[in-house]
C-alpha cells in the first residue's frame, strides 16, 4: 500500500511522511490531500496521447512534473510537429 495514514502525524506515501491537509506536490509528482484515516492523490503529469512517434519521443521531466516531447535525434530540442495530452 503506497498511501498509509498514520494516527497523529499525517500520511505516508512511498515511505515519506506528509502532514495532514493539502499537499501541492509529492516527490513523485502527485497532488494529495491527507486527513485522519485516508489519503487521496492524483498525478500532476499529463499523459501524451498523440505525437510524431517516428521523429519524436516522450521524456519524463520529474523536476517540473511533466512529460516533454522532444526530437528523437536531438532531445535538447522540442518536437516541432506538436502533440496532444490529457490529464
pTM of the entire predicted model? 0.71
Q: Please indicate whether residue 11 or residue 6 has the higher confidence score (pLDDT).
A: 11
List domains and CATH numbers for the chain.
3-43 (no CATH), 47-86 (2.20.25.590)
| Residue 6 exposure: Cα atoms within 13 Å on the Cβ side | 12
The pLDDT of residue 24 is: 96
> Taking the mean position of all CA atoms in its chain, how far away is CA 26?
8
Distance CA 65, CA 11 (A): 21
In this predicted structure, the answer to whether residue 1 has a pLDDT above a threshold of 50 is no
Q: Please indicate whether residue 32 or residue 36 has the higher confidence score (pLDDT).
A: 32
Q: Which three cell numbers stand for residue 24?
A: 501541492
CB 86 within 8 A of CB 79: no
Q: Which residues pair with residue 59 across a beta bridge? A: 68
Query: Per residue in 67-85, pLDDT tens?
Result: 999 999 999 999 988 788 8
Amino acid at each position: 500500500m503506497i498511501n498509509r495514514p498514520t494516527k497523529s502525524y499525517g500520511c505516508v506515501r512511498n515511505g515519506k511522511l506528509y502532514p495532514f491537509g493539502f499537499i501541492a506536490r509529492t516527490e513523485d509528482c502527485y497532488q494529495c490531500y491527507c486527513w485522519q484515516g485516508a489519503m487521496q492523490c492524483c498525478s500532476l503529469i499529463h499523459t501524451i496521447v498523440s505525437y510524431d512517434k517516428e521523429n519524436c519521443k516522450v521524456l519524463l521531466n520529474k523536476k517540473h512534473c511533466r512529460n516533454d516531447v522532444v526530437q528523437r535525434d536531438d532531445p535538447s530540442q522540442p518536437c516541432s510537429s506538436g502533440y496532444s495530452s490529457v490529464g
